Amino acid sequence: MTKSDLRKQIKDVALSNGADLVGIVNVTDLPEHKDRIFRIIPHAQSVVVIAARHSLASIRSANNQMAQFDTIHTYNECARSAHSVSRFLESKRFPSVAVPAFIPIDMQDPGKGMRGEICWRRAGVRAGLGSYGENGLLVTKEFGSAIRISGVVTVAELDADSPLEEDVCNHCGQCVSACPVGALSGGGAVNKKLCGENIFKYGFRFFQKFMEALYEKPDPEVQKIIRGYELREMWQNFMTGNYYYCFECQSQCPVSSVNTLE
């Protein structure tokens, strides 16, 4: 099979298994992630970046549970597509790994910030899926920011897509003014603490405080257990569903050749 046949087949597999957009980036063009990528799979050459679109009406709904339900589905589509591509590549004898869109993730100590094994916004920009918006997110021509992103790391040496030359964000500022907690100031800057407190209202920190509140005067050993790594891991295990409480900077982005906001 020629390199271009393989490339086409990969994209067909991705698009027929849940992806709405797919692009390819070489590992050499993701130098910030090289060490983590080689830990996932030594001698990896390429990353297939997969994006699945949200239902815009769902993430704009005043009923947040609809947005959460849609998010579960959209993450599932990312996972289905990434696993299909990975299995397809393995059937062609190229070791490949589907990488999570979000969790499981290495949960560092509070305050250090969560970091994905691959930053999917960055990979999406470099694979030509779109460009950075004022909201700091990946903005695509087709679906604006209303997408979820994941992908596959593979040893297959694939021809990469070129990053877009144009700026897809129209700099209207709607994402910045839509943020209910003032976490966005434009130019991609995000106050992660303000945003995190808003989107994870009942997330890990809530759970940790809840557990602590069970003890009027927590004895040091109990506190150590409650603040330990195991509990953070356990919390992730609980999270088979979705728990975001804000979608404004994604859902208010007007860029889209496919979705309509009206």
Applying CB under 6 A, the residues found at the interface with ligand SF4 are: 133-135, 139, 144-145, 169-175, 178-179, 181, 183-184, 190, 195, 198-199, 246, 248-249, 252-253, 255
Contacts with ligand B12 by CB under 6 A: the residue count is 33
From CA 35, how far away is CA 64, in angstroms rounded?
38
Question: Binders of ligand B12 among 94-123, rule CB under 6 A?
Answer: 101-102, 105, 114-116, 118-122
Closest distance of CB 53 from ligand SF4, Å: 15
Which lies closer to ligand B12 via its Cβ, residue 199 or residue 222?
A: 199
Residue 172 binding result from ligand SF4, ligand B12, none, given CB thresholds of 5 to 8 Å by partner type: ligand SF4
Closest distance of CB 12 from ligand SF4, Å: 30
Residue from 155, 164, 181, 199 touching ligand B12 (CB under 6 A): that is: 199
202 closest CA partner among 239, 233, 251: 239
CA distances to 49, 63, 154, 200 from 83, rounded to whole Å, are: 12, 31, 12, 27
Beta bridge partners of residue 48, listed in sequence order: 24, 152
Tell how strand 184-186 and strand 189-190 pair up: antiparallel
Residue from 22, 24, 48, 149 touching ligand B12 (CB under 6 A): that is: 149
Asked whether 144 and 129 are in contact (CB, 8 A), the reply is: no
From CA 155, how far away is CA 39, in angstroms rounded?
13
Tell how strand 21-26 and strand 184-186 pair up: unpaired
The site for ligand B12 (CB under 6 A) is made up of: 101-102, 105, 114-116, 118-122, 132, 135-138, 145, 147-150, 187-188, 190, 192, 195-196, 199, 244, 246-247, 249-250
